Amino acid sequence: MVSHAPVHLSVEDLTIAYDGKTAISGINLEIRKNEIFGIIGPAGSGKTSFLRILNRMDANVNNMSWTGSVSYNGTDLRTWRNLYALRRKVGVVFPLPVGLPMSIYENVAFSPRIRGIKNKAEIDDIVERCLTRAALWDEVKDRLDALGSLLSGGQQQRLTIARALSQEPDLLLLDEFSIAVDPVTTMRIEDVLKELKSELTIVLVTNLVQQCRRLADRTAFFLSGECVEVGDTEDFFTGTVKDQRTRDYVEGRFG
């Protein structure tokens, strides 16, 4: 059960600022191995800023600073000197598909090649496996040499997931993955995420509270830079939340 799983990420007293102006403050939570951990809240509540810290994207944002502690598998993120190695283990899927300007095949093969894998049969296997896990293989297996940018929006988003999986991460961060995806494709990706949970940990940021209910084992509600509460997802929808603001948001009274 998730409640007994080891802690994958531990966040203590996290405060994030841009140009010295606080964006989120005093975040304390734990994310456990092989769970889907949902983060909900209105725009501007600090959800994306929180994700940026989890694979040290702050290192590429000049005006971003943070204090507190974030531990990944027991290791403080500040001690990672090789951020590329960290980002291999912590994959990210952004709201809009961000494809590399190359073929479908090369989009997925890029990371294995960077890792030094040169055997074509091994790369072929990785490409097929990752595209299959992202529910895309059957749709593209006969046109792997086509540009990834020519795929539909939903297919490009699944290609982005396949590319993230080719890094062999044990933690996958998804930031509003369904913004540019049609409802049918969204449901397909949700099915993929449910299956992937047996292999890795997923942090899901979403403005769609029902999507969070369908997918997340536990959920955190962010509001105005504060983590209002964390709990079992179903509790958020059965009236057993601790804070009235959480109930009001889940029930659509604001957002």
Cα distances (angstroms) measured from residue 234 to each of 18, 217, 230: 34, 8, 11
Average pLDDT, the chain: 92
Q: What is the pLDDT of residue 202?
A: 97
**Average pLDDT in the 149-164 region?**
90
d(CA 231, CA 182): 29
Give the pTM. Answer: 0.92
At 66-81, the pLDDT tens digits run 999 999 999 999 998 8
At 76-115, the pLDDT tens digits run 999 988 888 898 899 998 887 766 789 999 999 999 999 8
At 123-139, the pLDDT tens digits run 999 999 999 989 899 99
- What does the domain layout of the chain look like in residue ranges? 2-97+171-250
Q: What is the pLDDT of residue 177?
A: 85
According to CATH, the superfamily of the domain at 2-97+171-250 is P-loop containing nucleotide triphosphate hydrolases (3.40.50.300)
> Looking at the predicted structure, is the pLDDT value of residue 230 above 90?
yes
Q: What is the pLDDT of residue 90?
A: 93
Residue pair 166/108 in contact by the 8 Å Cβ criterion: yes
If you ran DSSP here, which 8-state letter would residue 163 be given? H
Q: How far is CA 68 from the centre of its chain?
A: 21
